[in-house]
Amino acid sequence: MGITYVSVELYNPRQDKAGQPHKLLVDSGATFSVVPEEILKTLDVSPTRTQQFVLADGQMIERPVGEVGFRLGGAQATSPVIFGAVADVFLLGAVTLETLCLVLDPFKRELRPAKLMLM
């Protein structure tokens, strides 16, 4: 299994300003995306709630969560994002991928449009 990074433009959905480009690690196993708190502050994004999360080692942590806009490959959507602490990895998680209607192709290590089903 390889590592996949993508360039994403992050923006504050409540403001009519240009966003900031950033490189994120795609982690389709992570629920929410993680963006460092200092970057979210520069975008003037505020937390809307606090959420508990379980780490891989079973440890419980609590982090603020807010709403951020993502632009990637012609797709644009808002998604919940974890306010990352200093040691947290900058991630593009599953909820954001689904919101953007994208899936990770693990063989080519690239994002592709998702086949959406309505049943």
Nearest-angstrom CA–CA distance, 78 and 28:
17
Q: What fold does the segment set 5-113 form as a domain? A: Cathepsin D, subunit A; domain 1 (2.40.70)
Q: Where are the domains of the chain?
A: 5-113
Contacts of 67 (CB under 8 A, 6+ apart): 13, 45, 48, 78, 79, 80, 81
Q: Say what the pLDDT of residue 74 is.
A: 87
Please give the average per-residue pLDDT across 5-34, as a whole number.
Answer: 93
Give the SS3 label for residue 12. Answer: coil
Q: Say what the pLDDT of residue 18 is.
A: 83
Q: Cα 103 to the chain's mean position, in Å?
A: 13
Percent residues over pLDDT 90 in the chain: 76
